[in-house]
Amino acid sequence: MTDLDIEPTDTVDARGAACPGPLMDLIGRVRSASPGDVILLLSDNDQSLTDVSEWVDETENELLEVDETDDDYRFYVEVA
């Protein structure tokens, strides 16, 4: 649970995936999501920190929060 207490609509667990797998898994899920859905992406790949935020900036989707735990990064993306 994040400081923002965000409740994701769907979770994409891309831990263990090599780049650009996590971002592509997220994009795949966004394709089939509805506006307002919040997708939680789990990734343990450092490159995702750059890839995800850069991609979200190119779209109208919003990166609500990025949490870092001992094991992974957690990206909360709201679908436009």
Q: List residues near another protein by CB under 8 A.
A: 16-21, 23-24, 27, 30-31, 47, 50-51, 54-55, 58-60
**Which residue's CB is nearer to another protein, number 55 or number 75?**
55
Give the nearest distance from C-beta 56 to another protein in angstroms: 10
Calculate the CA 28 to chain-centre distance. Answer: 11
Catalytic residue ranges:
19
**Which residue's CB is nearer to another protein, number 51 or number 72?**
51
| Residue 74: its H or E element | strand 73-78
Give the nearest distance from C-beta 65 to another protein in angstroms: 21
Strand 10-13 to strand 62-68: parallel, antiparallel, or no bridges (unpaired)? unpaired
Q: Tell me phi and psi for residue 74, to 5 degrees.
A: -125, 115
**Which residue's CB is nearer to another protein, number 55 or number 76?**
55
- Backbone region of residue 16 per phi and psi (left: phi > 0; alpha: psi in -120 to 50; beta: other values): left
